[in-house]
Chain A
């Protein structure tokens, strides 16, 4: 460690002598030294810095403080130090920026609430607009097979559909087993444990199969869509697509929406089957229901309309997840942080919308006795 800088008043305040190192590592001390000396006003004081050790821009800045920002009042030993002080002085005389004020009071929190509400509303409007844009693109390209981007679509089907099969199947299997366990435990008290079969069948065909799949897909593929399009947006690739005479909606969005429209129903079917198998496994091992009995009972009590109720929601969820994922991607601006923020927002929004619509649909189907 080097000797920290110091300053002393000599000749009754007409001169201040400088010693030691005036560098960044001693800045806290130098700041205190300067504050102390400035309290004793020495108008005509000259700064005698000939005994100065090492000095850098931080030290030079504090030397200038002592000299009242006048480099002429500092006597230095060598040319290099003089140039350094001159450069720092010039930089410090740059016009100051307007100070920014941060209000953290009551008004600011009200303003925040208002801004959040407005952002929510704008988000909603943007989403509805974007859905319209996708539908228009569909209509435009539906009759022109030349515009179908098969390669891209198939690639996305592989990524969002095929690659998701194991995780969706495993997840639904486990939840199916849990539901069967709960059902068996509660229904046993009424001596009605065989109704576990219906519980598993109904819940997975109508709700859990499609809901669990949608949540998995939102977390897996919706986020990926946002990150892919978002980083393209950040690197001006989306603008490049536009300048090549192509529509980003056609090139980037359509294949992803189509891919999810194909993948989601298939994954939903996988999820339903895996959930029922999970439930069946629990029934076989804890309720002494043979696999054949399980299937027969399921066949007798559960009609196919439950399957269609569940399956009808799959394309709707697929469309919304893809639309939200892509739209959030297009909202990305510039920074890496922005990509992260919009990916999070994409997942949260998709899952929220999926559960909301699922709840509304449950009420709707109940009211029409399906």
Chain B
């Protein structure tokens, strides 16, 4: 799988705000069908990296190839086509607060495809069920949902157009451990069944140990290492050692060693 053309290929990326450089000479490859976890300290620019990849932020230098197309020089028409192949779950859900959950999911379907109302409704219900939401929440407004349900509703919206790549910005932040574990399993199931590629920003060590195929560590303005957890854990860098050898890191690893929840990807 890994010898194929990467689905996201970043070379020499530089992002800066004024004089403040966030990324410098950053390289990263993401391959089709994998779940890559991006970790880094607060303020290390994880979200900035994600925004640069999906074209919401313009990098100062470097090249980002997304699905084989250069992001910065893409035409608007091309951009719209590529956008449809990406699903994004923002940190706080970013659900449209004046629309119900069902209408939130339907937006992309009705805007991009000329479909009958009952087909749209049927697909919307399918996505809502796939995201693990009870169907009676479809008519609720985002303000009536709990934190975990907002994340699931946002996931349903991200899945609306059957994307090839799913970008998740801290999907389990603010969820209780049971909810977070269920969300992890949901992402794993979706990846295995829909063949998604998942770009996952997280602080949640349990998530890293449970579902990620590879982990990319963002520190010192670049990706220090991007590899399987076994390799990353042993990487000789103080921040990484602190991150994975701290009490939380050790606990998370112990948990996966005793309950190997990770399922092999069948793709």
- Pairing of A with B: yes
Contact B97 A92 (CB under 8 A): no
On whether A334 and B129 interact (CB within 8 A), knowing A56-B194, A100-B139, the answer reads: no
B47-55, B108-116, B166-174, B222-230 - the one binding chain A: B108-116
A20-28, A145-153, A171-179, A192-200 - the one binding chain B: A20-28
Chain B hits for A337, CB < 8 A: 97-98
On whether A61 and B143 interact (CB within 8 A), knowing A28-B116, A83-B193, A87-B193, the answer reads: no
Contact A57 B142 (CB under 8 A): no
Chain A hits for B161, CB < 8 A: 24
Chain B residues bordering chain A, tally (CB within 8 A): 35
Chain B hits for A37, CB < 8 A: none
Contact A86 B134 (CB under 8 A): no
B123 within 8 A of A: yes
Q: How many A-B residue pairs have CB under 8 A?
A: 87
Chain B hits for A84, CB < 8 A: 193-195
Name which residue of chain B comes closest to A98, CB basis: B136
Tell me the residues in window 129-180 of chain B with beta carbons closer than 8 Å to chain A beta carbons. Answer: 129-130, 134-136, 138-139, 141-144, 159, 161-162
Bound together, the chains give a CA A88 to CA B122 distance in angstroms of 12
- Interface of A: prevailing SS: helix
Bound together, the chains give a CA A318 to CA B111 distance in angstroms of 46
B126 within 8 A of A: yes
On whether A97 and B162 interact (CB within 8 A), knowing A27-B113, A27-B115, A88-B130, the answer reads: no
Chain B hits for A88, CB < 8 A: 126, 130, 193
A345 within 8 A of B: no
Contact B141 A334 (CB under 8 A): yes
Bound together, the chains give a CA A334 to CA B98 distance in angstroms of 9
Determine how close the nearest CB of chain B comes to the CB of A364; give it in whole angstroms: 43
Contact B143 A335 (CB under 8 A): yes
Chain A residues bordering chain B, tally (CB within 8 A): 30
Name which residue of chain B comes closest to A96, CB basis: B135
Bound together, the chains give a CA A86 to CA B9 distance in angstroms of 32
In this complex, the member of B116, B126, B136, B189 whose beta carbon has the largest number of chain A beta carbons within 10 angstroms is B126
B4 within 8 A of A: no
Mark interface residues in B46-89 (1 if CB within 8 Å of A CB, else 0).
Answer: 00000000000000000000000000000000000000000000
Choose one: A61, A86, A95, A97; the contact of B138 (CB below 8 Å). Answer: A97
B213 within 8 A of A: no
Mark interface residues in B183-209 (1 if CB within 8 Å of A CB, else 0).
Answer: 000000110111100000000000000
Bound together, the chains give a CA A87 to CA B109 distance in angstroms of 20
A binding-site residues for B, Cβ under 8 Å: 23-25, 27-28, 31, 56-58, 61, 79-80, 83-84, 86-88, 91-92, 94-98, 100, 333-337
Write 7 A-B pairs (CB below 8 A) sorted by A numbering.
Answer: A84-B193, A87-B193, A91-B129, A92-B126, A96-B135, A97-B125, A98-B136
